Structure 1
């Protein structure tokens, strides 16, 4: 008896051949080819192995910035646009591009604010006056001039009605403007008592303006009366002209030139047809000496 293995092709390598034959018989050809699932699994395994074998430096976290970033300055210069002029004709040279400068925004006009002499001086009237609001109450607006505004005025103690011309100090920008206000009040006092010249009651001054209280003429302007009536008869027009000439003669006899005679500067005392006519607004009036010629031109009568 000996150690003899039973099987085909038993020889020098009989044992290996028999084992190989048994293995190949048990696994078919289909089992030798890997499936798609097995291929995917093997690729994922190899990727995981590669990731684990990567150097540790790539997995370390980046350092956290603890200081604020440097400020970024944006240039105000606007880049210039360049427009090239092309041509559709073949063979024609293309003109050189010209830089187009951006349009600059227009600067707002500089308004030079003039200093007001009326607000800078101690007093326009050069004297201390009573407080207007303690004695009178101002109401609706009656008229508007270059320097002043006229309001309805009611005396608190007696209930009498007047008109108050308020001249804002901020509008008195020059020393000449201040002198004109003083002269206007002086001339009104100088002409007081004439039946066809507005009567002044008093002058007041506060921090913002000068207030001249005068009699109230509720009949309106001669200009509005002419527009309303359309025309005057010859007799009525002659009567109005006689009153106006009489005012001019009275002013000149007292050394005053009105220098602003116009229908808007004559007021009726009431709405009646035979209402008394009064001359107002002596803001441009001046004193003159007989025989002395005035060279100042105002384009007014």
Structure 2
């Protein structure tokens, strides 16, 4: 990647400079990341090989787990390694690559969550048309468009990052490269670029969140006409989705929809949606979902028999 900046590398300050706390960061986030990868891979394998999880909801959950695994991998390994490293150096090209990967899989997670809400809306509000509307070919096309949309969003972030000249300080007060911490180091007035970040990432997060809340409000309103058993099952599924949406979009909106100001909680908020949410998603979707748990048991019995 060609660049003509005077700064060729950055130093990531991480979550803390205290040696004892750095060891705590290494231990805690190593456990979090290992559990995230194992939990999401378990869901991926279960859906891939189970004969009972063939519905569109699990088709989309499969891709949510892929996005979660890659999204967490874009930041967690470096955070873990840097916690025990004397020099937390990242090259300019590596930094730009991290911005790309972070936003690629972050946007993919947003689009998949929206598709899961659409799936629930059609299943609950238009049950007779559900097999026709959410047939396999349609789901595949929707996922393809999600990947394309994620790629376009990520390219837009890179285009903004490449506009930034760096000629002075190279210490990033963060544990990963993203547009917000890079804007603080740029040797230029970043007001316009920050507005573009808000119009891009901020609008994506906010618009998707509003659409999701409206869709779930409509779904919950329509449940009045369902039987008690149908209401219970639909509420269980929708509650899981709503929890994931709030956990993911709350921190995203806080980070990407505001002027270029710094708060002491920024890094911890970023940790929550880049590392904690991918860790919690498998727990939410397995502990609250009897079908997934039963499919896992069946696969386990087949494996040991």
- TM-score range relative to shorter protein: under 0.3
TM-score by length of structure 1 reads 0.22
If each structure's strand is expressed as a fraction of its own residues, which one has the higher value?
1
The structure that has the greater radius of gyration is 1
If each structure's helix is expressed as a fraction of its own residues, which one has the higher value?
2
More relative contact order, 1 or 2 (CA 8 Å, 6+ apart): 2
TM-score by length of structure 2 reads 0.22
